[in-house]
């Protein structure tokens, strides 16, 4: 697959718009189609981002024979069904995080992709940005010694709206699912192993989802991860990786940073790695396209096993709170 790769976007909300903006910075990508539940939304999106094909139904987008891969940008609760729809139509899939509502759903989607030998990846965009590549280099080179502790927070104060996806349990709302996943994926990316102990606590709001929550993970060699997320509380939005010989601070916003500081040998060194164009979504799109051209069905940077492990962690944490979503 050396030709231009044709993309479709399923959904027309904020995240879909950000992805569409950044896709134009990938020279061999073409945004060919957009699907919505309403023709007016598809047309407005198409006009704004110069998308030639606009569909008023998701199945029409999935059935377009010239689209190679579809980015799913619908609410969390629809990821499972939308992914299965695309896969059944023979489309490769990049699905926004969190991948599904729970591990059971994730297993079903992954099984469908493997049965059809189609590419599938969760859109954990932070793993692909330049700062994360620098952090990986420093850790692999032993700059801060053995990792002992990781802290990260992702909190913001959203306007109260019981029907908004952030607060609506029907749409998989809550801080954990929307932004906590970033904090939880960070220690998995760094330590590359499962926690042995998981402790958490949440403030459950009036709609029945967590408005702020915290998680402590303990690992087999004593490592700790201390994490938090919120949708009604503003937090520093930073991450710190602490080792036996130093530390690394990923500056805010840690999930899409442009600056990182390493402290070793008693000295601080700050490196700026600005994303020259866009917001950084183009890097995950480039990974998808590189994998497709190599005939790969999943990414080594964001493998499907990691997605399953993340979903299991989310399930375990929600079980500790007794938080279940409709239909589970």
* Residue 144, pLDDT above cutoff 80: yes
Residues 80 and 134 in one domain: no
- Note whether residue 313 is domain-resident: no
Residues 118 and 134 in one domain: no
Residues 138 and 181 in one domain: yes
pLDDT band at 1; cut points 50, 70, 90: low
**Range(s) of the domain holding residue 105:** 5-125
Q: What is the pLDDT of residue 21?
A: 97
pLDDT, tens digit, 9 for 90 and up, residues 247-281: 999 999 999 999 999 999 889 999 999 998 999 99
- The whole-number average pLDDT for the span 302-328 is 97
pLDDT, tens digit, 9 for 90 and up, residues 68-120: 999 999 999 999 999 999 999 999 999 999 999 999 999 999 999 999 999 99
Residues 158 and 139 in one domain: yes
- Note whether residue 282 is domain-resident: no
* Residue 15, pLDDT above cutoff 80: yes
- Note whether residue 245 is domain-resident: yes
* Residue 318, pLDDT above cutoff 70: yes
Residues 137 and 269 in one domain: yes
Q: pTM for this one?
A: 0.95
- Note whether residue 106 is domain-resident: yes
The 3-state secondary structure of the chain, one letter per residue: CCCCEEEEEECCCHHHHHHHHHHCCCCCEEEEEEECCCHHHHHHHHHHHCCCEEECCHHHHHCCCCCCEEEECCCHHHHHHHHHHHHHCCCEEEEECCCCCCHHHHHHHHHHHHHHCCCEEEECHHHHCHHHHHHHHHHHCCCCCCEEEEEEEEECECCCCCCCCCCCHHHCCCHHHHHHHHHHHHHHHHHCCCCCEEEEEEEECCCCCEEEEEEEEECCCCCEEEEEEECECCCCCCEEEEECCEEEEECCCCCCCCEEEEEECCEEEEEECCCCCCCCHHHHHHHHHHHHHCCCCCCCCCCHHHHHHHHHHHHHHHHHHCCCCCCC
- Note whether residue 33 is domain-resident: yes
pLDDT, tens digit, 9 for 90 and up, residues 170-189: 999 999 999 999 999 999 99
Q: What is the pLDDT of residue 49?
A: 97
Residues 229 and 102 in one domain: no
Residues 143 and 84 in one domain: no
Task: State the total domains in the chain.
Answer: 2
């Amino acid at each position: 697959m050396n030709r231009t790769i044709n993309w479709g976007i399923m959904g027309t909300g904020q995240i879909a718009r950000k992805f569409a903006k950044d896709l134009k910075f990938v020279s061999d990508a073409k945004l060919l189609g957009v699907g919505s539940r309403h023709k007016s939304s598809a047309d407005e999106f198409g006009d704004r981002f110069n998308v030639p094909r606009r569909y008023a139904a998701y199945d029409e987008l999935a059935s377009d024979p010239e689209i190679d891969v579809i980015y799913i940008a619908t609410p969390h609760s629809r990821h499972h069904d939308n992914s299965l729809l695309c896969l059944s139509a023979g489309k490769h899939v990049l699905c926004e995080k969190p991948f599904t509502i729970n591990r059971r759903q994730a297993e079903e989607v992954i099984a469908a992709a493997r049965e059809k030998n189609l590419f599938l990846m969760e859109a954990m965009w932070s793993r692909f940005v330049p700062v994360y590549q620098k952090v990986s280099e420093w850790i692999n080179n032993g700059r801060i010694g053995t990792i002992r502790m990781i802290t990260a927070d992702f909190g913001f104060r959203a306007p109260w709206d019981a029907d908004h996806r952030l607060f609506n349990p029907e749409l998989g709302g809550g801080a954990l699912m929307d932004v906590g996943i970033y904090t939880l994926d960070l220690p998995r990316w760094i330590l590359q192993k499962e926690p042995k102990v998981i402790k958490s606590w949440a403030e459950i709001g009036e709609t029945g989802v967590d408005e702020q929550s915290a998680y402590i993970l303990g690992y087999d060699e004593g490592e700790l991860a201390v994490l938090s997320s919120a949708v009604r509380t503003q937090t520093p939005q930073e991450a710190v990786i602490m080792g036996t010989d130093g530390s690394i601070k990923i500056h805010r916003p840690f999930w899409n940073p442009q600056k990182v500081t390493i402290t070793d040998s008693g000295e601080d060194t700050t490196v700026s790695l600005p994303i020259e164009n866009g917001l950084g979504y183009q890097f995950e799109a480039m990974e998808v396209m590189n994998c497709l051209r190599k005939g790969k069905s999943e990414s080594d940077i964001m493998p499907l096993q990691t997605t399953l492990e993340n979903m299991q962690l989310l399930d375990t944490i929600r079980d500790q709170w007794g938080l279940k979503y409709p239909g589970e």
